[in-house]
Amino acid sequence: MELIARGRDADVYALDESRVLRRYRHGGPTGLEARLMTHLAACGYPVPKVYETTATDMVLERLAGPTMLDVLARRPWRVAGLGRMLGGLHDRLHALPAPEWLPRRFGTAGDDRVLHLDLHPGNVLLTGRGPMVIDWCNAGAGDPAADVAMTLVTVGGAEIPQLTARLGRRLFLRGMRRGCGTDPAGRAQEVIEAKLADPNLTPAEAAWLRRRADGRAAR
């Protein structure tokens, strides 16, 4: 099999022209992830089709198109517009009530929206059918403000070569805020604490988050 993508927890292999294999290195919530993706597809949200699952593997529809990160690298003048697109994907997702079987991640009993909780430019593929959202292993039910806050701290603190310029990163995040109708402020500290527990953080990312928690990081 041809390795075509490598993430922090999983690898993606090409099976043929229409299917890919997503394989978790140490196992993952494949059953729940597949169930949610199937549910979202039925609701009209843009996700790849799920064909098969095991405890470690998911066979998914192969999507043709670059990631939003790839486009940022090649066409940096689109940074603000792509940010607005990401904000719009948040709004579309948060319009959907969470199914009762989806675990609650952030919020109280009244916060029942679907949250991706890793909706950054690397998890959006720009296809001929429009943007498609991948990698749902962190998803849960809760307050949309937490989902938006998670994207802001992930993009703000991550070591992203395509957004190394401080101005470019700010323009992208500003565009995302303008494209999204949710204010993330109420969940920011809670999300930072959750993000700091991620074992995949680099030392630089963890340091940025700690500064943010102390109120010293630039917006």
- Helices 188-196 and 144-157: crossing angle, nearest 10°? 60
- In the block, tokens 């292999």 appear at 13
Note the pLDDT of residue 6: 86
Report the distance separating Cα 196 and Cα 213, nearest Å. 10
Note the pLDDT of residue 194: 93
Note the pLDDT of residue 178: 94
Closest CA to 169 of 217, 100, 136: 217
CATH homologous superfamily of 2-61 equals: Phosphorylase Kinase; domain 1 (3.30.200.20)
DSSP of 137-180: TT-EEE-HHHHHHHHHHHHHHS--GGG-SHHHHHHHHHHHHHH-
What's the CA angle centered on 93, arms 114 and 14, to 5 degrees? 95
For the stretch 186-198, pLDDT in tens is: 899 999 999 999 8
Sequence letter at residue 186: G
Q: For the chain, which residues make up each domain, given as ranges?
A: 2-61, 68-213
Domains 2-61 and 68-213 agree in fold: no
Question: Could you tell me the two tokens for 127?
Answer: 């296809």
Per-residue pLDDT of the chain (219 residues; tens, 9 = 90+): 899 988 888 899 999 999 999 999 888 889 999 999 999 999 999 999 999 999 999 999 999 999 999 999 889 889 999 999 999 999 999 999 999 999 999 977 677 999 999 999 999 999 999 999 999 999 999 999 999 999 999 998 876 666 656 678 889 999 999 999 999 998 999 999 999 998 888 898 899 899 888 874 444
Structure pTM?
0.91
- In the block, tokens 């089709």 appear at 49
Q: Which CATH number fits domain 68-213: 3.90.1150.10, 1.10.510.10, 1.10.3720.10, 3.40.1260.10?
A: 1.10.510.10
Note the pLDDT of residue 216: 46
